[in-house]
Amino acid sequence: MSIPNEYLNGLMERVIARDPAEPEFHQAVREVLTSLSPVVDAHPEYITSGVMDSLVEPERIITFRVPWEDDQGVVHINRGYRVQFNSAIGPYKGGLRFHPSVNQGIIKFLGFEQIFKNSLTGLPIGGGKGGSDFDPKGKSDAEVMRFCQSFMAELSKHIGPDTDVPAGDIGVGAREIGFMFGQYKRLRNEFTGTLTGKGLSYGGSLARTEATGFGLCYFTACMLKDAGKSFEGQTVVVSGSGNVATYACQKATEFGAKVVAMSDSNGYIYDKNGIDLDAIKQIKQVERKRIKVYVDTHPEAEYHEGCKGIWTIPCDIALPCATQNELNGDAAKALVANGCFLVAEGANMPCTPDAVDTLKAAGVLFGPAKAANAGGVAVSALEMSQNSMRFFWTFEEVDEHLKQIMTDLYKNASSAAAEYGMPGDLVAGANIAGFLKVANSMLAYGLV
Ligand code: NDP
């Protein structure tokens, strides 16, 4: 599908020609450039100044070798990445992903999205992302530690509290952040807030663990309120059972909804009585087992192999919280056919473009990731603030900030969409609102 603005359409073609093997990055850029067409029609200075061309080219990409030894003494070589995409409004900020599917295109797509998401939070943070094709699954703690230390041996040369502040993402939780922060501290001989998502005993923020999932529900609650509804009594399907999914399930349940399904990369569980989240936390966080063992202790629940079927479960609200492109056009049709009226993205870009089109055409309320899941990075920025102040806030204080940030973010995205003639289109609204602050800063700097 071509982009309405002719210049941006040509820019899209150049992005594809320059790096043809990066489909996820192309998908993310196409969505943003499509949303920005009416903005550059009204303000051609964003084109003539070079802002649009600069926006799609990372300021810096760092790729490096990560050698590590397993418990048998066998040497492995993985590849590490850090894409420092845009620092117009603050130090690069964005997570690290450890998953075998990681490649440069995926990290670029995530870093690109992060620019707008971070801007939307209203906090002074630029966009970046990193990771490795290392798979922590099935590795011992000692192996994960050796990998993380080797990864940080190189990454530490490129990050810092005022330069680039990484955090967690898929495959990078509290354990990995601990190993990496310890190594950073040792190599640099400094104790600063260079990583976020840290443990509470060494500079972490209360409510960071919960922030993305809780923030997703605060954002969804704003969408529901505008539609004259609430979470109360709604049936919800959440995909994934990692950090985002777990705390989305918790907050949706606290808000009076019933979450009936969750998944991992092997399959999904359906529990018509409502998911027992303590059991999920025990399985995924403590025992690090597959979600299918849930049915061993919950005989009324069903386990289904494969992930796609989760979207055929009847629900009012769907919260995809696992990974990119996990909800396709057919899944969207099944959701619509079963009466789902709201989809909000907890994961990054979990809905394919045809899924988004199907949902929008059917009038389903749609909350895009860069707005709906911005709570995690927002609280990461609050962790940075607390580290700089050498102080900490209570859980309630951080949670209150988070609620306010998600509410403001919803209002900003909503009003930007209305201002550019697309009322209710939160995809366009989030892209435009996120873009303007970054682009105006870039304009102020001149050609840099
Ligand atoms: P976790 O690693 O904690 O959990 C990821 C979950 O998704 C796991 O249940 C995992 O299953 C499942 N999963 C991973 N890959 C696939 C796949 N290919 N197909 C189906 N399921 C899969 O990650 P997070 O919860 O932190 O992140 C989830 C999503 O949210 C990502 O898109 C991430 O970028 C995004 N996000 C995360 C933020 C955060 O603060 N953590 C902030 C903003 C966005 P399994 O256990 O089998 O691997």
Cα–Cα nearest to 341, from 361, 359, 322: 359
56-103 residue pLDDT tens: 999 999 999 999 999 999 999 999 999 999 999 999 999 999 999 999
* Model pLDDT for residues 315-332, shown as the tens digit of each residue: 999 999 999 999 999 999
Mean pLDDT over the full length of the chain: 97
pLDDT at position 99? 98
**Cβ–ligand 1 contact at 131 (below 6 Å):** no
Percentage of the chain modeled with pLDDT above 90: 99
Q: What is the pLDDT of residue 49?
A: 97
216-225 mean pLDDT: 98
The tokens of 43 are what? Answer: 């303000």
Question: What average pLDDT does the segment 348-359 reach?
Answer: 96
Say if ligand 1 is within 6 A of residue 265 CB. yes
State the pLDDT confidence band at 341, using cuts at 50, 70 and 90: very high
Task: Tell whether the torsion through CA atoms of 98, 102, 108 and 113 is positive or negative.
Answer: negative
Q: What is the pLDDT of residue 125?
A: 98
Q: Per-residue b/e over 50-83, b at no fewer than 16 CB within 10 Å?
A: ebbebbbebbebbebebebeeeeeeeeebebbbb
Q: 321 alpha carbon to ligand 1 midpoint, in Å?
A: 6
Q: Whose CA is nearest to atom 41 of ligand 1?
A: 169
Q: What is the pLDDT of residue 306?
A: 96
Report the SS3 class of residue 199: coil
Residue 326 Cβ < 6 Å to ligand 1: yes
Closest atom, ligand 1, to C-alpha of 244: 25
Q: What confidence score (pLDDT) does residue 409 get?
A: 97
Residue nearest to atom 47 of ligand 1 (CA): 265
**What pLDDT, on the 0 to 100 scale, is given for residue 82?**
98
pLDDT surpassing 90 at residue 447: no
Q: What is the pLDDT of residue 48?
A: 97
Nearest CA to ligand 1 atom 42: 376
168 lines ligand 1 (CB under 6 A): yes
Strands annotated E in 241-297: 258-263, 267-270
Tokens of 288: 């690090």
pLDDT over 90 (residue 1): no
Average confidence (pLDDT) over 389-413: 97
* 423 C-alpha to ligand 1 centroid (Å): 31
Q: In this predicted structure, what is the pLDDT of residue 435?
A: 98
Mean pLDDT computed over 214-236: 98
Residue 417 Cβ contacting ligand 1 at under 6 Å? no
Q: Is the CB of 212 under 6 A from ligand 1?
A: yes
Q: What band does 291 get if pLDDT is binned at 50, 70 and 90?
A: very high
**DSSP-based three-state secondary structure for 336:** helix
Test site for ligand 1: of 117, 144, 169, 324, most ligand atoms within 8 A of the Cβ: 169
Which residue's alpha carbon is at the smallest distance from atom 10 of ligand 1? 264
The pLDDT value given to residue 440: 98
What is the structure's pLDDT at 244? 97
Separation between Cα atoms, residue 165 and residue 152, nearest integer Å: 13
pLDDT value of residue 224: 98
Please give the backbone phi and psi of residue 101, each rounded to the nearest 5 degrees, phi first: -80, -5
Q: Which of the following is catalytic: 93, 129, 251, 284?
A: 129
Radius of gyration from C-alpha coordinates of the chain: 21
Distance CA 208, CA 383 (A): 8
Please tell me the predicted confidence (pLDDT) of residue 148: 98
Question: What is the 323 CA–ligand 1 centroid distance (Å)?
Answer: 5
Q: Whose CA is nearest to atom 29 of ligand 1?
A: 347
Angle at 318 between CA 378 and CA 95, to 5 degrees: 30
The contacts of residue 103 (CB under 8 Å, 6+ apart) are 133
Rounded to the nearest whole angstrom, what is the distance from the C-alpha of residue 241 to the centroid of ligand 1? 8
Which amino acid belongs to residue 73?
G
What pLDDT shows up at residue 448?
79
Ligand 1 contact, 121 CB (< 6 A): no
Report the nearest atom of ligand 1 relative to the CA of 348: 32
Q: What is the pLDDT of residues 118-165, one digit of tens each?
A: 999 999 999 999 999 999 999 999 999 999 999 999 999 999 999 999
Q: What is the mean pLDDT of residues 409-430?
A: 96
Write the residue with the smallest CA distance to atom 21 of ligand 1.
Answer: 265
What number is the average pLDDT over the span 3-22? 98
How many C-beta atoms lie closer than 10 Å to residue 2's C-beta?
11
Q: What is the rounded CA–CA span in Å between residue 29 and residue 35?
A: 10
DSSP-assigned letters across all residues of 79-141: EEEEEEEE-SSSSEEEEEEE-TT--HHHHHHHHHHHHHHHHHTTSS-EEEEEEES---TT--H
Looking at ligand 1, which residue's alpha carbon is closest to its atom 22?
A: 265
**Cβ of residue 24 lying under 6 Å from some atom of ligand 1:** no
Is 170 near ligand 1, meaning CB less than 6 Å away? Answer: yes
376 touches ligand 1 (CB under 6 Å): yes
Evaluate: CB of 216 within 6 angstroms of ligand 1. Answer: no
Could you read off the pLDDT of 170-199 as tens digits, one per residue?
999 999 999 999 999 999 999 999 999 999
Q: Is the CB of 12 under 6 A from ligand 1?
A: no
Atom of ligand 1 nearest to the CA of 350: 32
Q: What angle do CA 53, 58, 64 make, to 5 degrees?
A: 155
Distance from residue 120's CA to the centre of ligand 1 (Å) = 22
Residue with CA nearest ligand 1 atom 23? 170
pLDDT > 70: percent of the chain = 100
**Catalytic residue check, 251:** no
Residue 262 CA, closest ligand 1 atom number: 9
